[in-house]
């Protein structure tokens, strides 16, 4: 039954990044032929009158594109940091993230099993 849920793709590694109202999931999966690929998923919690739902967007990244993807991402982020916003101290956002994590850690944790899907 579990194999039907994942279509034969085993998850090898997973990490998530909470970013404000969004959560990003980085998952390494394997194919039936023991090849690997990465899925990057953006999840946004949307509130409705009767509760909430998650809106998600997913990117599949295959091994032959890893280097091109990383190069383009790095070049784009560096362009924003050095050319468009050279006076912004981007390390301040790391500090805000740590504060949010500490605040969240001080509150009782809420288990939300609906954040993972396939």
Query: What are the residue boundaries of the structural domains of the chain, listed by start?
Result: 2-108
Looking at the chain, the whole-number percentage of residues with pLDDT higher than 70 is: 71
Sheet holding 51-62, edge to edge: 10-19, 22-30, 36-48, 51-62
Tell me the per-residue pLDDT of 74-88, one tens digit each, with 9 for 90 and over.
Answer: 999 999 999 999 999
pTM above 0.85, yes or no: no
Residue 23 has a pLDDT of 95
CA contacts within 13 A on the Cβ side of 53 = 5
Residue 47 has a pLDDT of 86
Tell me the per-residue pLDDT of 19-50, one tens digit each, with 9 for 90 and over.
Answer: 888 999 999 999 888 899 999 999 998 888 88
Q: Which fold has domain 2-108?
A: Nuclear Transport Factor 2; Chain: A, (3.10.450)
């Amino acid at each position: 039954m579990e194999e039907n849920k994942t279509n034969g793709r085993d998850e090898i590694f997973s990490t998530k990044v909470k970013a404000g109202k969004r959560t990003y999931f980085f998952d390494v999966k394997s194919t039936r032929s023991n090849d690997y690929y990465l899925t990057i998923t953006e999840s946004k919690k949307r509130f409705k009158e009767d509760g909430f739902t998650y809106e998600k967007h997913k990117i599949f990244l295959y091994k032959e594109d890893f280097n091109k993807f990383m190069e383009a991402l790095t070049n784009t982020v560096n362009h924003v940091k050095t050319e468009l916003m050279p006076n912004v101290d981007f390390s301040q956002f790391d500090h805000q993230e740590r504060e949010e994590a500490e605040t969240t850690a001080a509150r009782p944790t809420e288990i939300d099993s609906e954040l993972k899907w396939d």
